[in-house]
Amino acid sequence: MDSKLTVLYDTHLKPQLEALDHDRKNVIKQYWLSLGIGIGFPATVIPLSFIYDLQAFGIIFSIIVAIVMHRLYSKRWDQYKKDYKHKIVTKLINSIDSSFSYKPTQCIDKQDYKNSALFGRQYDRYRGEDLIEGQLDKTHLRFSELHTEYKTQSRDNSGKNQDQWHTIFKGLFFIADANKHFSGQTTIMPNNHSIFSAMGQKLSDIFTNNQQQVILEDPEFSKLFNVYSNDQVEARYLLSPAMVQRLINFSNRSEHAIAFSFVNDHLYIAISSTKNYFEPKLFQQADSLAFIASIYYDLQFVINIVDELDLNTRIWTKP
């Protein structure tokens, strides 16, 4: 356990966490109350409504009661999450770097997502949260959770249209200043065709953007990634042997599929994950040091990308 985190927990977090845990227990009570009434009320009222020939009233009234109870629970749960992020996650971020800003309800801008050139498929739904932004030495960075989806329609057996939502990308989306000047576009995709599909990128999309495959000499890197660029010389300039090794090490340390792109003097990283980062759990004690540590290490993992990839070492004329 990180000694810095232990001190932070004991001196600044524990009193607030104990108060939050009291709130969490109240949310649990509301959860069980809402669930009990939401199920028990219809189970009692609907059969009675059939006895007294008031079926429509019984069904509609039961639905209204269930919706009201669900909203009461959701309101308290949302407030608890808001308080937790404001009081705890903010302090964890500031303990890593006090200059960082944290906006729990915001996410990476849609234009940044588009600029990355990592996703060939157009999204129909764009959602995200937990935007963190700051400056580490010479490198400006920002990242957030992100979930993009596209919609398809199909007909059910009765002929009605049904919407189906498919994930393009879900995970952490990271943007940082690159440490080299470049004008082309280079993408580094996981060397797995199922990952191409999951992330909404297709080989046809890449070649449409005038990108061609770049064959690098490192066999370990080639097992992990496919590289495409519209400038073969620049791609090799960006992917120096040192950078290739850093990308290998970073990928090996991560448990998730990762894609990179170098576009307009920026490095974009998409870390595919179904995990809901920086969120409290209803049935997890708020004052659990192990749970706090998991959030802290997730934050460190992303913020340390700057050091992992040596982005503060400026090359040639990059200021």
Query: pLDDT, tens digit, for every residue of 28-56?
Result: 999 999 999 988 888 888 887 888 777 78
- Could you tell me if 274 and 139 lie in one domain? yes
The mean of the pLDDT values for the chain is 87
- Could you tell me if 31 and 180 lie in one domain? no
Global pTM value: 0.85
Question: Residue 291 has which token pair?
Answer: 């749970």
- Could you tell me if 209 and 261 lie in one domain? yes
- Could you tell me if 132 and 3 lie in one domain? no
Looking at residue 314, its pLDDT comes to 59
Over residues 159-177, the pLDDT tens digits come to: 788 889 999 999 999 999 8
SS3 per residue for the chain: CCHHHHHHHHHHHHHHHHHHHHHHHHHHHHHHHHHHHHHHHHHHHHHHHHHCCCHHHHHHHHHHHHHHHHHHHHHHHHHHHHHHHHHHHHHHHHHHCCCCEEECCCCCCHHHHHHCCCCCCCCCEEEEEEEEEEEECCEEEEEEEEEEEEEEEEECCCCCEEEEEEEEEEEEEEEEECCCCCCCEEEEEECCHHHHHHCCCCHHHHHHCCCEEECCCCHHHHHHEEEEECCHHHHHHHCCHHHHHHHHHHHHHCCCCEEEEEECCEEEEEEECCCCCCCCCCCCCCCCHHHHHHHHHHHHHHHCHHHHCCCCCCCCCCC
Separation of alpha carbons 292 and 294, rounded Å: 5
- Could you tell me if 70 and 145 lie in one domain? no
Looking at residue 199, its pLDDT comes to 53
Looking at residue 319, its pLDDT comes to 46
Q: Between residues 120 and 19, which one has the greater pLDDT?
A: 19
* Dihedral (Cα; 276, 133, 177, 243), 10-degree rounding: -40
Range(s) of the domain holding residue 209:
99-279
- Could you tell me if 65 and 176 lie in one domain? no
- Phi then psi dihedrals of residue 273, to 5 deg: -160, 145
75 lies in some domain: yes
Number of domains in the chain: 2
- Could you tell me if 127 and 62 lie in one domain? no
What is the total residue count of the chain?
319
Over residues 272-315, the pLDDT tens digits come to: 999 999 999 999 999 999 999 999 999 999 998 988 888 887 55
Average pLDDT value for residue range 230-249: 90
At residue 201 the predicted structure's pLDDT band, cuts being 50, 70 and 90, is: low
**Residues near 183 by beta carbon (within 8 Å), at least 6 away in sequence:** 231, 234
- Could you tell me if 182 and 231 lie in one domain? yes
- Could you tell me if 199 and 232 lie in one domain? yes
Looking at residue 158, its pLDDT comes to 78
Over residues 61-115, the pLDDT tens digits come to: 889 999 999 999 999 999 999 999 999 999 999 999 999 999 999 999 999 999 9
